[in-house]
Amino acid sequence: MRRPMAIAALFMTGTALSVPATAAERRSPATPAATRDVHPLLQGWRFHFGNVQADASRADFDDSGWDQVALPHSWNRIGGYRTQRGPDSNNRQGHGWYRLAYKAPAVAAGLRQYLDFAAVSKIADVWVNGSHVGTHKGAFGRFRIDVTSVWRPGQVNTVVVRADNSKVEAGSATAEVIPLSGDFFVHGGIYRDVALLQLPAASIDPLDHGGPGVYARATEITADRALVEVRTRLRNLGSSAQPLRLVTRVTDAAGKTVAREEQPVQLAPGASEAIGRVTLPKPHLWNGRRDPYLYTVTAELTDTGRVIDRVDQPLGLRTFRFDADKGFFLNGQHVKLHGVSRHQDALGSGWALTPAQHAQDMALIEELGANTVRQAHYQHADQWTELADKAGMVVWAELPYVTTPSLTSDKGSDALWANAEEQLREQIRQNYNHPSIMMWSVGNEVDSAKGFGQKGAPPKPLALLQRLNAVAHQEDPDRPTTMADCCEGVGMIQTAGEKVVGTTDLVGYNRYFGWYYPKPLEMAAQLGAALDKLHADHPALPLSISEYGGGGAVTQHSDDVRSGFVNFVGRPHPEEYAAWLHEQTWPVIAARNQVFASWVWAMFDFASDFRDEGDSVDLNDKGLVTADRKVRKDPFWYYQAAWGETPALHLAGKHYVQRAYPVMDVKAYANAPSATLTFNGRKLGDTLCVNFVCEWKGVALKPGANKAVVTSRTGARTLRDTATWTGPAANAGIRIDAGNLGGRELAGHRFGSDTFVTGGTPVILNLVGFGGRSLGPLRKVETATPELFEYWREGEAFSYRIPAPAGTWTVTLHLFEPRPGGTANQALTVTANGATAIEGLNIGQAAGGPLREVIRSFPVKVGTDGLMLDFKSTGGKASLGAIEITR
């Protein structure tokens, strides 16, 4: 039997030392003033999307008719909380042209000029003063171009950038640049910062795959000392050797120098490197959310005592390891990693995020109580990872090898392999010094190409995955590699049959129990069994849940999440179902230490231009927070109670104000053992909070406003939360949309979700797949109200116990026969409070054929026990579209 694997950061050994840090130390590590000559190029750009008549790269091209823009900028705006694209939507893909006329500063002789691009999507071609100076392929990495030969110091220089995010298809330039596919939109533009960097001919290397040129690693950590090796890459573009000195210095969070080394370097023409070694006494550890302490490591290149170049980088000292049975350990202490995945877009901004938006995202994740973030599915901005360092998040950093290596059935072209490798080297070097990053992901769902509609035989993803895994270890032998698996043991998507799990040191499983998989109500048992089997199948492989979740729309609601059909890529996506899914899922994960981490998919709703679901278009609505960051959904509050270390209490269902029925279940989230509910001034009592969920069943609503107050007590602290819900008018009746997980407004009436029912099965009329592709022949019901037949309930026996007020009511049933051939011997009997109301009805014959509505109405007298409707069908199933109970 193989021994379970424990994967550790090999260069970090010894015991943890925890030293309290002040808030200022945790959040604001001191950084010496920069000596590099950096000029931001953010203002004054002109932009045009699409083809131009003349050569737009020429310095004398007339761009006066182009739009004026500032950076960061993207021409794409995707997604909205509506059911159709609005006039502000822009999912155009192709060439976007940018031009800048820049009066360059005069400089001393010998300085060299570099253009520094933080990211351009997806392919960038750059011209300076009419000369093509470089091409970069990849939407997410930083790149620098030496433009000295064509730059004109002290004069106006014309910088032209053509950004290309053309649709990936055979023959397109983007077909050789990862990612080729995925459930996110690749925005186009210069969506991160650009700067002019001026350096002497001999400097710290600015051309090292966009990296800082300074790379620090601890070779030993104990309570008494930390040994840190600092590798500095140097470049001399002059014609002769230069005798210089390299100073390596470490400063603490207060700016005090705690370690220093100085060495001579005889810098010959070309590239070279020097290694500095420093010793830090009594090291203060970077300890995650509890104490994310940061040092700063500085490399200075001096010439006769004068600093000619300097680079500052973060330094966090920590040990970590992954155990296949016990999970994740940081500085010798077990930490259950629980967090979220995050895409880099926001509603109205696309990928062109500001520092304030990055900070807002991290603040929301901290508020949630997460201690880890997965960067999905690509390299994120420098500011974002810096925020993760300061917040103490453990980061899964990911390469955009997503879904497939090829548009055909092969393993991918040489050009694509070279591009994937280059993007990985860029990512690792540019992010090497961030202590928050503890694993490099080299692929996401690369065995799922057939799930996104790819034609022909499945491509073969394994060879590229193996190559990238080797490159990651070559670039960084200390951090483990990982990947996110889609399909092992799932059986829903055709793959090439290659076994990708086990290629990397760790593995994450993207598993959507309760959402994409059959029998969603059995999600907890299914997930538990799957996790146990995966661990048994790979006993030496540390595993995580890299994605789980479900869609949630804050304007769509359900009174019973167990009764309706779960339409995972359509409508509705009730907020209550998403919350229930997470309530069922988290306890299963929390109970298993072999799951070293889990990441909810996702923190925010994000752009995906083939999604048309929930209450949105062009958005994946699985976020815990809406894409505009305005609304925290109920699952957000659940996790705040489950993950937070401070007392938490929240009444769920606040967005469902106008209630469809005269009764409701009241739910609160709390990390206290119990909570108390007062409803309309009357105390309804205490209830236990089981797995952070506190519930009061069947609470009666009066017509109009109903005020709820919930309280909980933790130690000496009492928390309180309130909500107001509007009950329906007493004479408004009750309308139930059978089979529908959510409710709807129809012809001026409110139809609630399928509720109060026992037995039968919810069914959908037309099920579609991703991108709205029909999964069967489209069907239409002949009726004045076709919306009521988008879902239905069918069965040979099912019952509704409906809380109708006492009095005489008329019950109207909307029925139909969905089967094209009908059911010749089918006969339906309906009883109302034990009295026969319909007997021996063959629905198809009464309608005159299938897919035609049959309406049957009957009076009923209701007492204090409400209305009981029993449906019994012989010779075949009965199909019910809706129930109306009216005066």
Please list the active-site residues: 445
Query: Which residues fall within 8 angstroms of residue 590, CB to CB, at 6 or more apart?
Result: 336, 338, 642
State the Cα–Cα distance between residues 411 and 446, nearest whole angstrom: 11
Here the tokens at position 340 are 């979220």
In the block, tokens 């199933």 appear at: 877
Beta bridge partners of 667: 695
State the Cα–Cα distance between residues 473 and 469, nearest whole angstrom: 6
Query: Which residues fall within 8 angstroms of residue 517, CB to CB, at 6 or more apart?
Result: 490, 492, 523, 526
Helix (H), strand (E) at residue 575 = helix 575-590
State the Cα–Cα distance between residues 611 and 623, nearest whole angstrom: 14
Here the tokens at position 318 are 């920590």
Backbone angles phi, psi at 130, to 5 degrees: 90, -5
**CA distances to 70, 356, 384, 594, 645 from 359, in Å:** 20, 5, 8, 32, 22
State the Cα–Cα distance between residues 420 and 439, nearest whole angstrom: 18
- Residue 368: other Cβ atoms inside 10 A: 24
Phi-psi group of 390: left, alpha or beta (phi > 0 → left; psi -120 to 50 → alpha; rest → beta): alpha
Does residue 235 contact residue 202 with C-beta atoms inside 8 Å?
yes
State the Cα–Cα distance between residues 750 and 735, nearest whole angstrom: 7
State the Cα–Cα distance between residues 469 and 151, nearest whole angstrom: 40
781 exposed, middle or buried (CB, 10 Å; 0-12, 13-18, 19+)?
buried
Bridge pairing between strands 214-221 and 257-267: unpaired
Strand, helix or coil at 141? coil
- Residue 110: other Cβ atoms inside 10 A: 11
State the Cα–Cα distance between residues 7 and 481, nearest whole angstrom: 10
Does residue 694 contact residue 637 with C-beta atoms inside 8 Å?
no
State the Cα–Cα distance between residues 617 and 623, nearest whole angstrom: 14
Work out whether the CA dihedral 303, 305, 307, 309 comes out positive or negative.
positive
In the block, tokens 């739910």 appear at: 667
CA count, 13 A, side-chain hemisphere, 844: 18
466 exposed, middle or buried (CB, 10 Å; 0-12, 13-18, 19+)?
middle
DSSP state letter for 707? E
Closest of 390, 391, 395 to residue 372, by C-alpha: 395
> What type of residue sits at position 202?
A
State the Cα–Cα distance between residues 247 and 468, nearest whole angstrom: 34
Q: Please count the residues of the chain.
A: 887
Work out whether the CA dihedral 192, 194, 195, 201 comes out positive or negative.
positive
Closest of 631, 620, 535, 547 to residue 581, by C-alpha: 547
**CA distances to 140, 312, 694, 699 from 678, in Å:** 52, 57, 13, 11
Beta bridge partners of 275: 231
Closest of 145, 157, 159 to residue 116, by C-alpha: 145
